[in-house]
Structure formats: structure tokens, C-alpha cells
A = this chain, B = another copy of it.
Amino acid sequence: MEVRHILEKIKDGRLSVEEGIGYFKGLHYLDVGCAKIDTHREERVGYPEVIFCPGKTTDQVKTIIQAMLEWDSNILATRASENLFEEIRTFCPDAVYHPLARAITVKKRDIETPATYIAVVTAGTSDVPVAEEAAVTAEIFGNRVERVVDVGVAGIHRLFYNMDAITGARVVVVAAGMEGALPSIIGGLVDKPVIAVPTSVGYGASFNGLAALLSMLNSCASGVCVVNIDNGFGAGYMASTINRLT
């Protein structure tokens, strides 16, 4: 049953408020026409659904966010333009835009934050947007994040000067483009899980991040796993899953 039907029935008196609540609780998803919002996801995997904006119209994103707001979910919309954010802000004044990460967040509920933290490391300045997507994702999911910027292997002493922030973390996210070697180096230096996220930064034969992706998959250091190219969100999510393990 669609959310609209439930609300109409309540409005028409055909459904009591208590019955409506029952419906909402019992429903495993909200059908808003263009999407079936997986309202059960938080209970199942620990986090609410996240909105991947590309390929969706502005109206579709608005519809989804409006429904989630009624549900009191925390909201994360990734790959969102500033224009889209302006549209969202008209009805959701709590929305925050993260320009480097190109993400919109809305915080409706506080989440308990573990004492441990996630280190988010970048090889170069050009990798920052992807790293920021990871950091914003981890933060909205209730994690503390330490950022370590521009410690790539061309000047590896910069990494050694910043190892404390990295070894102190419970899990490490490393964003790197070009040859993507940094996760291997870090993987050989720490006893924590390393989430490698390749970025599409580089010259021609980086093939939009393929070089870094293959490099990371072939890491000779163990304890490194890999997410999709430029997928800062996925890295932040995975890191959160690990950081929040009890």
C-alpha cells in the first residue's frame, strides 16, 4: 500500500491514527511511485537508505526526501548539485550542503558515536572531493573522522610525519588516483583494515581511475580491500560498518 493511500484513509477517517502507525511500522518500504523507499533498511543493516542523485529528476529526489523526512530518517543524498540543494532547502531548512563532497545531509536524529575514529587519507589535493564524500558519509552515520591530506608516495616522508593519526584509527580510508600506491604503503604499516578508494585523477592511461583500481586490487600488502572508482560514499559506509562493530 502506498503512503498516500494510508494518509488519505487516515484523513478520511477510514483508518485510525493507531492503525496508521501500525501500517507504517509493518510496512517494509514506502512506495512513493517513482521509488520504493526501504524503510526497513536501518533495522536490517544499520543505516537508512541513501539517495544516489544521478539519473533522478529533481522532482524524484524531492519526493523521496519528503517521504523520508516524514519518517524522521537522517538523510544523505550524494552527487547532488548546488542547484538541487537549493530546491531541497525550500522545504527542508535543516539541510546542509557539503560543496567539496557534493553531498546533502539532514540530521534528524542523533546517533551514538563510538570512541574510536576513522582516518580518511588522501594521496593528493585532487583526491579531496572523493575523500570528503567518504568523510561526510562516515560523519552522518555517527563516526568521528580524522582527515590526513596530501601524503602521497612522491614525498613519502609526509606520510611518516602523519602516521600517528593513521595508526590511531580503528579503520583507514585511503583515496588515491594516478598509480594508487598509497593504500599498499599504508597496508604494510598498520594492523587495521584499509579501505582503498581509487579516484579518476590522472593522465591519459589512468583511464579514468582504472589504473588506480587495478593497483589497489593487486596490493602486495594484505589487509587492503577496494571499493568502486570515486566511490567515497561506499568507502565511508564500509568504514562506518567496521568502526561501529562492537
Which A positions have Cβ atoms within 8 angstroms of B?
28-29, 33-36, 38, 40-41, 44-47, 49-50, 52, 54-56, 60, 64, 123-129, 149-158, 161, 170-171, 177-181, 184-185, 187-193, 195, 198, 200-231, 233-234, 237-238, 241-242, 245
In the complex, the answer to whether B55 meets A220 with C-beta atoms within 8 Å is no
In the complex, the answer to whether B242 meets A193 with C-beta atoms within 8 Å is yes
In the complex, the answer to whether B125 meets A153 with C-beta atoms within 8 Å is no
Please give, as numbers and ranges, the residues of chain B lying within 8 Å of A198 by CB-CB distance.
204
**Which residue of chain B has its CB nearest to the CB of A225?**
B225
In the complex, the answer to whether B230 meets A203 with C-beta atoms within 8 Å is yes
In the complex, the answer to whether A60 meets B125 with C-beta atoms within 8 Å is yes
**Which residue of chain B has its CB nearest to the CB of A128?**
B34
In the complex, the answer to whether A150 meets B211 with C-beta atoms within 8 Å is no
What are 12 A-B contacts defined by CB distance under 8 Å? Answer: A34-B149, A36-B155, A44-B189, A124-B220, A154-B187, A154-B220, A179-B184, A179-B214, A191-B241, A205-B214, A206-B228, A217-B229
